[in-house]
A and B are shown apart, each in its own frame.
Chain A
Amino acid sequence: MERVAIEQVYRTDYGRIVARLIYLLGDFELAEEAAAEAFKAALEQWGRDGIPANPRAWIIATARHQAIDRLRRRVSFDARRDELLHFVENRMADSEPEADGAVRDERLRLIFTCCHPALALEAQVALSLRTLCGLSTDEIARAFLIPATTMAQRLVRAQRKIRAARIPYEVPSSDHLAERLEAVLTVIYLVFNEGYAATAGDPLVRKDLCAEAIRLGRIVLELMPGDAETAGLLALMLLHDARRETRLDAAGEVVLLEDQDRERWDRVQIAEGLRLVEMALRGGPAGPYAVQAAIAATHARARRAADTDWREIAALYDYLLTQQPSPVIALNRAVAVAMAFGPEPGLALIATIEAQGELSNYYLLPAARADLLRRMARWREAADAYRAALALVKGNPERRFLERRLAEAEALRDS
């Protein structure tokens, strides 16, 4: 019985509990250790004494006492120990629990600290998932296909750096807020991509990454309401994730966007995504996340693949390219142009990208060319292009898909 209650508190409130503890204790590592011990104590005591009226407050109060005991027991070579004790004991007086504004501030502080640019990007990702989403070290390690010990070291190192270099636990000042927020969104985007593009590893755990990224996006939007790019990123994630049930068939094979059963797209999520896109596009020039979300929205609005407004999508990619001149975006734009205006202009654009040489290891470039050649029934050239793509592809479902296309092209070439 109490186990269920504890798991409930853990799932929903771990991030808030740690945020509060970091605020009270002034130290990431100490806060984490104290929280872990408090949850252990809860396991022991709630079974005996019953579940407290306010479980979260119980955990926080217990953790605080654990931390003070722990600090007192530390052999004091560390001048900082006394400083910390003093700090924590003073904060005891601040026992005012969670007025909404205070909680909001603490969580904002936590997010910005986890995503501080002085930490390595992979550390920012790990720390965010650990402290904001309450994922265990094991879960994060499995999600990123890294040994658990490596992930544990990564987290410890990050927490130590925060302490040793004194990375401040605070919301950035207004002149740095925009660029720091950008860093937070980058982390969230990375987490989502890791889950969405998952081609190896435990599919269940990786699908959860998308859910965690969306959750993080919601938290940030709640804390910074009206921020256009945050809304744009959340919209983008919701709209992509809405297709999750239809991206692979029952046998685990790739299903292209144009072949997906749109009835099985998550319409509730799409509705939310479309609302957020509107928010993101209101007032002022659209940022990259907003534009990408608008592209996803254009797909989502089409009830059937044939109804897709490809000209709109091509125009959006034109605009996105001016903001983010990357060869991958140029490739996506080439595909949109082909769908809107015919394969010839698409092929021409792809040839230009190829000539620039930046995507020489990217299987989607020859794959895209192959697909356009296929639509033009130029089977021999299509087969060559599929072979080139197969030489570069990494994931197994994608490989099998290309092999099927290659077989088809070869059969038709000889017919």
Chain B
Amino acid sequence: MQYMLLIYDNQAGSRSAAELSKLHDEYLAFTQGIIKNGNFKGGDALEPSTTATTVKVRDGKTLMTDGPFAETKEQIVGYYIVEARDLDEAAAIASRIPTARTGGIEVRPVRKM
């Protein structure tokens, strides 16, 4: 069964170059790990929410606004789609995502259309 892992983090507070580099390496190692295990189905980092645009259509009119859909402190910074046997396995994978230590990972079952 497939799950989407939505990676949330507080983007305020900058990381140093060294911290960023270390985070990048951790993500690389993590991703390679789940590819090797056969769990990886997709995933990428996202540009920060300051680059986001929200599109809505109301009464036939398209509305475009600057910024993310919800102005919350924590924003989506990336995602994975993984194949896992059950929630426990998906949650175990999520717990190994580096950002799980500072932010949170939402584990959502994918409904196949």
Contacts and interface: CB of A to CB of B under 8 A. Distances in A.
A167 interface: yes
B23 interface: no
Interface stretch (B9-17, B31-39, B83-91): B83-91
B86 A166 contact: yes
Contacts, number: 19
B112 A168 contact: no
Contacts of A164: 109
Nearest to B1: A166
Interface in A158-174: 164-168, 172
B6 to A, nearest CB: 14
Main secondary structure of the interface of B (DSSP, over half): mixed
A172 B88 CA distance: 9
B112 A167 contact: no
B112 A165 contact: no
A32 B62 CA distance: 47
Contacts of A168: 85-88
A118 B89 CA distance: 13
B109 A165 contact: yes
A179 to B, nearest CB: 12
Interface string A71-114: 00000000100000000000000000000000000000000000
A167 B88 CA distance: 7
Interface size class of B (residues with CB under 8 A): under 10
Interface class of chain A by DSSP: loop
A79 B111 CA distance: 11
Residue of B1, B88, B109 with highest tally of chain A CB at under 10 A: B88
A359 to B, nearest CB: 30
Contacts of B88: 167-168, 172
Contact of A118 (B1, B85, B87, B112): B87
A181 to B, nearest CB: 15
B109 A167 contact: no
The listed residue with most A CB atoms (<10 A of its CB), out of B1, B87, B107, is B87
Contacts of A165: 87, 107, 109
A377 to B, nearest CB: 55
A79 B112 contact: yes
Interface in B70-113: 85-88, 91, 107, 109, 112
A166 B91 contact: no
A79 B85 CA distance: 17
A170 to B, nearest CB: 8
Nearest to B107: A165
A3 B55 CA distance: 62
A351 B46 CA distance: 53
A237 B109 CA distance: 39
A165 B1 CA distance: 9
Nearest to B109: A165
Contacts of B87: 118, 165-168
B109 A166 contact: yes
Interface string A131-164: 0000000000000000000000000000000001
Given A166-B87, A167-B87, A168-B86, 16 more contacts: A79-B112, A118-B87, A118-B91, A164-B109, A165-B87, A165-B107, A165-B109, A166-B1, A166-B86, A166-B109, A167-B86, A167-B88, A168-B85, A168-B87, A168-B88, A172-B88
8 contacts: A165-B87, A165-B107, A166-B109, A167-B86, A167-B88, A168-B86, A168-B88, A172-B88
Q: Give me the 8 closest cross-chain CB pairs, A-B, nearest first.
A: A168-B86, A166-B86, A165-B87, A167-B87, A165-B109, A166-B1, A168-B88, A166-B87
